[in-house]
């Protein structure tokens, strides 16, 4: 279960990076027939929110255990 949760989180992070680069290329092209940069940035924010919710759920359920001493 822990490995599956970590794989899901890594995939969400990869989707965020991919959408960031897609927004960059959309901004550089400036083609009105293609989707705008804000679509990809919005998807990036959505994936970030999903990742935060997944992390909070996994921490609350005890699947992921935070480091008790951060230093």
pLDDT digits (tens, 9 = 90+) for 25-50: 988 987 888 888 899 999 999 999 99
DSSP state letter for 69: S
Q: Per-domain residue ranges for the chain?
A: 1-26+38-61
Percent of the chain with pLDDT over 90: 58
Which contiguous run of DSSP H or E holds residue 62? none
pLDDT of residue 1: 81
pLDDT of residue 54: 92
| Average pLDDT over every residue of 42-71 | 90
Reading the block at residue 38, the tokens are: 């804000």
- Report the distance separating Cα 69 and Cα 35, nearest Å: 45
pTM score of the predicted model: 0.80
Reading the block at residue 34, the tokens are: 């293609």
Place of tokens 């897609």: 22
Burial class (CB in 10 A: 0-12, 13-18, 19+), 61: exposed
């Amino acid at each position: 279960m822990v490995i599956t949760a970590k794989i899901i989180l890594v995939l969400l992070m990869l989707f965020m990076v991919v959408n960031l680069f897609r927004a960059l290329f959309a901004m550089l092209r400036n083609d009105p027939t293609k989707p705008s940069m804000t679509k990809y940035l919005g998807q990036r924010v959505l994936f970030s929110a999903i990742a935060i919710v997944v992390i909070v759920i996994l921490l609350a359920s005890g699947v992921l255990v935070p480091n008790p001493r951060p230093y």
